[in-house]
């Protein structure tokens, strides 16, 4: 690979990924070339004839091979972008995906409209709980947009909590985010006016048939939602009344085919003004509901 240029490596990487059937070949090739060579997007456009060091070309060749084998780009690089922020990943965390940004948008929309009891539109008075935080992407994103809010993030995995703490510090919100190790509400004290969660929601029997990017690289603990995929929602809805303030909002991510089922669980739990929110692909993605005593 001696004498390779940015342009030739980008073209070769894209072609290899296309031939391997990678749907996101163009963007994956660009991200991996940028990371391997230290180039940016402008360099790829205006300096395509720039020579690339041999060690960078070798590193890129290895990464492309890993991507062809099914490893996601975020896993290869050890970082992922979510809601405009960068997050470190680890073996105990999901790779945050764009669909989960819908959950952040639902929560932020309620805050900005002043609908959450006790919380102002700028986030002051907001105390939220993120159940099963993983990389911390949801909690950190909420705090980054609500400069006066505070939060608590929980996870059953100590490895995930370590990564989440590092991501909170990386994004400058660690002074407003506390952490608790345990299953859902097991280690939680006090009440919150917003509770959010992206819990495990894949039915156990379906996991073996998932795409290899998910099945081989995401932690099983963050995927397996029990026989029907709804175990986590039952646990959340069983425990939230002891930890939510009247007028508070509960919002959870769901699988694309779980809107009706999770809505039914919300109704049975006594929540009101229940909504099913869709993602950019027009699929059910988030269910939200208000604890009795809500305003707005």
What's the CA gap between 56 and 11, in Å, rounded? 16
Q: Are residues 114 and 21 in the same domain?
A: no
Q: Are residues 46 and 144 in the same domain?
A: no
Q: Are residues 53 and 151 in the same domain?
A: no
* Res 172: pLDDT: 97
Question: Per the domain annotation, does 81 fall within a domain?
Answer: no
What CATH number corresponds to the domain at position 105?
3.40.50.150
* Res 2: pLDDT: 52
What's the CA gap between 268 and 84, in Å, rounded? 36
pLDDT string in tens for the chain (296-residue length): 556 999 999 999 999 999 999 999 999 999 999 999 999 999 899 999 999 999 999 999 999 999 999 999 999 999 999 999 999 999 999 999 999 999 999 999 999 999 999 999 999 999 999 999 999 999 999 999 999 999 999 999 999 999 999 999 999 999 999 999 999 999 999 999 999 999 999 999 998 888 888 887 788 888 889 999 999 999 999 999 999 999 999 999 999 999 999 999 999 999 999 999 999 999 999 999 999 854 44
Q: Are residues 65 and 94 in the same domain?
A: no
Residues with Cβ within 8 Å of residue 230, at least 6 apart in sequence: 201, 258, 261, 262, 265
Q: Are residues 39 and 93 in the same domain?
A: no
Q: Which uninterrupted H or E stretch holds 253?
A: strand 244-253
**3-state SS, residue 45:** helix
Q: Is the dihedral of CA 129, 92, 210, 68 positive or negative?
A: positive
* Res 293: pLDDT: 59
| Long-range contacts from 108-114, C-beta under 8 angstroms, 24+ separation | 108/142, 108/145, 108/146, 110/194, 110/249, 110/251, 110/288, 111/146, 111/149, 111/194, 113/296, 114/295, 114/296
**3-state SS, residue 151:** strand
Radius of gyration over every alpha carbon of the chain, rounded to an integer in angstroms: 21
The DSSP call for residue 123 is: S
* Res 294: pLDDT: 46
Closest CA to 171 of 61, 295, 69, 81: 81
Closest CA to 106 of 97, 115, 95: 115
Q: Are residues 102 and 243 in the same domain?
A: yes
Closest CA to 97 of 263, 279, 294: 279
In the chain, the number of structural domains is 2
* Res 222: pLDDT: 84
Q: Which range marks the domain in which residue 103 is found? A: 89-290
* Res 296: pLDDT: 42
Q: Both tokens of residue 34?
A: 């940028």
Question: Per the domain annotation, does 80 fall within a domain?
Answer: no
Q: Are residues 123 and 231 in the same domain?
A: yes
State how far the alpha carbon of 278 is from the alpha carbons of 57, 83, 84, 145, 149, in Å: 41, 17, 20, 22, 26
Question: Per the domain annotation, does 76 fall within a domain?
Answer: no
């Amino acid at each position: 690979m001696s004498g390779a240029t940015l342009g030739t490596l980008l073209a070769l990487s894209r072609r290899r990924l296309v031939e391997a059937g990678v749907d996101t070949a163009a963007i994956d090739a660009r991200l991996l070339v940028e990371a391997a060579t230290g180039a940016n997007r402008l360099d790829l456009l205006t300096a395509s004839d720039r020579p690339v060091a041999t060690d960078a070309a070798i590193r890129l060749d290895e990464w492309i091979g890993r991507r062809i084998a099914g490893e996601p780009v975020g896993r290869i690089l050890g970082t992922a972008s979510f809601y405009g922020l960068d997050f470190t990943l680890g073996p105990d965390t999901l790779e945050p995906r764009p669909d989960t940004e819908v959950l952040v948008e639902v929560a932020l929309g309620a805050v900005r409209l002043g609908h959450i009891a006790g919380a102002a539109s700028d986030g002051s008075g907001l105390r939220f709980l993120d159940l099963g935080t993983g990389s911390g992407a949801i909690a950190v994103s909420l705090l980054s947009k609500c400069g006066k809010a505070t939060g608590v993030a929980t996870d059953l995995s100590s490895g995930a909590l370590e990564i989440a703490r590092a991501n909170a510090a990386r994004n400058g919100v660690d002074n407003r985010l506390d952490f608790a190790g345990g299953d859902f509400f097991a280690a939680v004290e006090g009440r919150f006016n917003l509770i959010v969660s992206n819990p495990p929601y894949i039915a156990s029997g379906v996991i073996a048939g998932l795409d290899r990017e998910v099945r081989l690289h995401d932690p099983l603990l963050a995927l397996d939602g029990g026989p029907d995929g709804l175990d986590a929602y039952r646990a959340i809805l069983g425990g939230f009344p002891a930890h939510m303030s009247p007028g508070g909002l509960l919002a959870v991510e769901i699988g694309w085919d779980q809107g009706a089922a999770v809505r039914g669980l919300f109704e049975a739990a006594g929540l009101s003004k229940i909504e099913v929110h869709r993602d950019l692909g027009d699929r059910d993605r988030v269910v939200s509901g208000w604890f009795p005593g809500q305003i707005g």
